[in-house]
């Protein structure tokens, strides 16, 4: 199908999924508008880990070098117990592992995607509430967990609270991290986890999860005090890292997902990318990566297929099974890493200790081995 329709493609939501989709489509010649309710593309979400599949998408989108120049290359991941004991160490930058991860400041990723768009593409401060009124050939719902586009498609699937809360913050890089500055460290306790990730060019991203009912605390200083208190006995320098979080800079999200496989990714001329279609627990660190994959696949099928219908049917067929499988895998990890009762957690820790790195790499291969589709061949030359 050729780009160049009279009405543009409208992308609702200017998060990573929406910006990447707009960029992928624009690179193929489509007219695109992104409607984002926020007044800036700030990428609120502290840091992000990008796996090789996500990095390949950035390459396909032409922004990989820009993102790499602002990222930390993560060559190893380790898992520790709350007291600091090493449970597992996995080298990520070895043959067969797919390549290292990138630790990025989320705002840097959003900025790199936004800067690559043609001027005027992004309409900030634009809230979409009546999807049917949008003047568009195709509406892409990139509007996250509580997507209005998904609602307009008649989806009855509500987000499910997964029984835990995540906190995230960026702090300045320290020189006394427990592992080298190219290492992602995740520490597991009972009903709680904490990650330390060098990101960007001088920051450390700290994320923490704890089993907790949904609901916000009344004030942010109470929130920060709660996190510091929950992790106060954990190994160094977790206390110092949490002490370095500036008041007002701690993000809290109750973790929700969409039941894997329940959401139809397209209906008529509406199609979903990213969390709008398949929000998942953050245990694989793949939500943004899958949104990037959606973007390049959607652009590819629109180019390759003769009609919108054929393209969107193919999009849903190619993306549905993959995102559902990863959503289920992330739920399984959540049950083990987050919700295991003490006896099970003890066995889990022993099992993690005994598992060789290559087995861990194989388990994550489902997510990381993915490659973007090759560009569609050019249309045949017309006879003069
Ligand atoms: C704790 C945690 C850690 C994570 N870590 C990672 C990680 O390391 N790696 C990774 O790949 N993923 C990670 N993720 C997942 C990742 O954050 C999400 O999957 C990703 O941000 C989804 O992007 P999106 O663009 O689909 O949705 P969103 O980021 O939610 O963007 C949706 C956008 O739509 C806008 N919007 C919503 N409604 C409207 C409307 N009506 N009108 C106009 N605009 C609207 C919003 O303002 C927003 O900008 C993590 C998630 C959590 C919770």
The rounded distance, in Å, linking the Cα atoms of 58 and 67 is 8
> Of all residues in the chain, what percent carry a pLDDT higher than 70?
92
Q: Which of 11, 12, 14, 15 to mutate to test the pocket of ligand 1 (most atoms within 8 A of CB)?
A: 15
For residue 110, tell me if it sits in a domain: yes
Residue 176 pLDDT class (50, 70, 90 cuts): confident
What is the band of 22 on the pLDDT scale with cuts at 50, 70, 90? very high
Q: Is residue 320 part of a domain?
A: yes
Q: For position 364, what pLDDT does the model report? A: 77
Which CATH number fits the domain that encloses residue 147? 3.50.50.60
Residue 375 lies in a domain: no
Q: At 79, is the pLDDT very low, low, confident or very high (cuts 50, 70, 90)?
A: very high
Q: What band does 177 get if pLDDT is binned at 50, 70 and 90?
A: confident
Would you say the CB of residue 285 lies under 6 angstroms from ligand 1? yes
Confidence check: pLDDT of 2 > 80: no
Can you tell me the distance from the alpha carbon of 130 to that of 149, in angstroms, rounded to the nearest whole number?
9
**303 Cβ neighbours under 8 A, 6+ residues apart:** 1, 3, 28, 375, 376
Structural domain contains residue 327: yes
Average pLDDT, the chain: 92
Average pLDDT over residues 330-353: 86
Could you tell me the distance, in angstroms and rounded to a whole number, from the CA of residue 83 to the centre of ligand 1?
32
| 187 CA distance to ligand 1 middle (Å) | 24
The β-bridge partners of 49 are 103
Min mean pLDDT across 182-196, 310-324, 348-362 is at 348-362
What does each C-alpha distance from 50 to 101, 277, 284 come to in angstroms?
A: 6, 20, 10
What is the CB-side half-sphere exposure of residue 330 using CA atoms within 13 A?
25
195 lines ligand 1 (CB under 6 A): no
For 128-172, how does the pLDDT look when each residue is reduced to its tens digit (9 = 90+)? 999 999 999 999 999 999 999 999 999 988 999 999 999 999 999
pLDDT at 8: 82
Residue 291: per-residue pLDDT: 98
Q: Is the CB of 288 under 6 A from ligand 1?
A: yes
Q: How many angstroms does the Cα of residue 275 sit away from the middle of ligand 1? A: 6
Four-point Cα dihedral 179, 181, 184, 189, nearest 10: 40
Residue 353 domain flag = no
Q: Is the pLDDT of residue 5 over 90?
A: no
What does the pLDDT average to over 2-9? Answer: 70
CB 258 within 8 A of CB 242: no
Higher pLDDT, 250 or 344: 250
Let me know if residue 242 belongs to a domain. no
Q: Residue 4 pLDDT > 70, yes or no? A: no
C-beta of residue 107 within 8 angstroms of C-beta of residue 20: no
Of the pLDDT bands very low, low, confident and very high (cuts 50, 70, 90), residue 112 is very high
Count of the separate structural domains present in the chain? 1
Residue 285: CB partners within 8 Å, gap ≥ 6? 48, 49, 51, 101
Does pLDDT of 73 surpass 80?
yes
- 267: domain range? 9-73+102-161+257-336
What is the average pLDDT across 349-363?
A: 74
**Residues 206-262: tens digit of each pLDDT:** 999 999 988 866 566 788 999 999 999 999 999 999 999 998 899 999 999 999 999
**Ligand 1 atom with the shortest distance to the CA of 145:** 30
Atom of ligand 1 nearest to the CA of 18: 25
| Residue 87 located in a structural domain | no
- Say if 36 falls within a structural domain: yes
């Amino acid at each position: 199908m050729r780009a160049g329709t009279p009405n543009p493609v409208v992308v609702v939501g200017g998060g990573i999924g929406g910006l990447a989709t707009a960029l992928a489509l624009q690179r193929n010649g489509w007219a695109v508008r992104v409607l984002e309710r926020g007044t800036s593309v700030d990428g609120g979400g502290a840091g992000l880990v990008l796996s090789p599949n996500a990095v390949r998408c950035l390459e396909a989108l032409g922004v990989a070098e820009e993102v790499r120049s602002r990222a930390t290359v993560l060559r190893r991941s380790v898992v520790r117990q709350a007291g600091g004991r090493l449970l597992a160490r996995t080298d990520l930058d070895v043959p067969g592992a797919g390549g290292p991860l990138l630790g990025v400041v989320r705002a840097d990723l959003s900025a790199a995607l936004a800067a690559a768009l043609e001027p005027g593409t992004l309409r900030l401060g634009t809230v979409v509430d009546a999807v049917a009124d949008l003047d568009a050939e195709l509406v892409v719902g990139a509007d996250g967990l509580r997507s209005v586009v998904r609602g307009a498609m008649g989806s009855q699937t509500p987000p499910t609270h997964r029984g835990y809360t995540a906190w995230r913050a960026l702090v300045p890089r320290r020189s006394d991290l427990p592992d080298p500055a190219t290492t992602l460290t995740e520490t597991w306790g009972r009903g709680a986890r904490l990650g330390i990730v060098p990101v960007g060019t001088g920051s450390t991203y700290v994320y923490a999860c704890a089993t907790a009912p949904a609901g916000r605390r009344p004030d942010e200083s109470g929130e920060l005090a709660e996190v510091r208190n929950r992790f106060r006995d954990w190994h160094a320098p977790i206390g110092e890292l949490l002490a370095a979080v500036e008041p007002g800079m701690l993000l809290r999200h109750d973790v929700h997902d969409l039941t894997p496989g329940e959401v139809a990714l397209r209906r008529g001329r509406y199609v979903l990318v990213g969390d709008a279609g398949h929000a998942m627990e953050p245990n694989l660190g793949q939500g943004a990566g899958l949104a990037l994959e959606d973007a390049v696949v959607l652009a590819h099928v629109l180019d390759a297929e003769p009609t919108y219908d054929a393209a969107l049917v193919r999009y849903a067929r190619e993306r549905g099974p993959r995102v559902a499988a990863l959503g289920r895998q992330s739920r399984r990890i959540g049950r083990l890493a987050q919700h295991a009762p003490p006896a099970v957690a003890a066995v889990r820790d022993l099992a993690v200790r005994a598992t060789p790195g290559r087995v861990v790499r194989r388990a994550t291969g489902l997510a990381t081995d993915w490659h973007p589709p090759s560009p569609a061949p050019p249309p045949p030359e017309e006879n003069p």
